[in-house]
Amino acid sequence: MSYINLKNVSRTIKHKRILQNINLNIEKGTITGFVGPNGSGKTMFFRAILGMIKLDSGEIEINGEKISLGSSPQVNIGTILETPGFINNYTALDNLKYLAAIKNEIQEKQILEAMQLFDMIDHKDEKVKSFSLGMRQKLAIIQAIMENQELIILDEPTNGLDEASVQTFEDKLRELKNEDKTILIASHDRFVIQSVADQVYQVNEGEVSV
């Protein structure tokens, strides 16, 4: 049985079809990539899976659970959607501790280990307002993976990253896959997607195709 199922999923906003009759099955423990230009529907597709928008038609299931507007899936999900949001006057570590306290499933030691992986440990006591785009993006990746999430959904996660950080990111995704995590990643950068994904889909004007 597929872990994520989309059946005839459609959504129209202001007379524009944002998602067009999407049918898709995603297996557990895989990395699935979605490639498309800005405005192609990638972010809206992820928002639908997360129950953040109302569908005009169709249905979505995650691990056998039907997803609808406002219904949070009963699985632990890590996400990056659009611009990472952090509290600018908090330090990097305090931001991550604040987010971790919501579910209270990890300790500071695990947060620091994730920061070390992405070379952010030396910046843990710096306020986020001083961070570059790349540093904010690394912080966003850390928060998306630090709590042993079962499902990880990443929208344009490599924006602003240097080559070494992209390589670290790709290696971490492969490690998570080996731990049976399910990963969805969207990017306009086909090279990044193809280097890690088991299956790659093209997103264009709300349509998803191989």
Higher pLDDT among residues 45 and 188, named by residue: 45
- Residue 66 counted as domain residue: yes
Average pLDDT (16-42) is 95
Establish if 75 belongs to a structural domain.
yes
Q: Residue 92 sits in which domain range?
A: 2-205
* pLDDT score, position 1: 64
**What 3-state class would DSSP assign to 38?**
coil
Tell me if 140 is assigned to some domain: yes
Interval 158-171: pLDDT, tens: 999 999 999 999 99
Taking each helix axis from N to C terminus, what angle separates 92-103 and 108-117, rounded to the nearest 10 degrees? 130
Q: What is the pLDDT of residues 174-204, one digit of tens each?
A: 999 999 999 999 998 899 999 999 999 999 9
CATH number of the domain where residue 153 is located: 3.40.50.300
Q: Is residue 149 part of a domain?
A: yes
* pLDDT band at 105; cut points 50, 70, 90: confident
What is the tally of structural domains in the chain? 1
CA dist 147 and 114 (Å) reads: 10
Helix (H) or strand (E) holding 55: none
Does 210 map to a domain?
no
Rounded CA-CA distance 124/107 in Å is 15
Q: Is residue 127 part of a domain?
A: yes
Of residues 108 and 105, the one with the higher pLDDT is 108
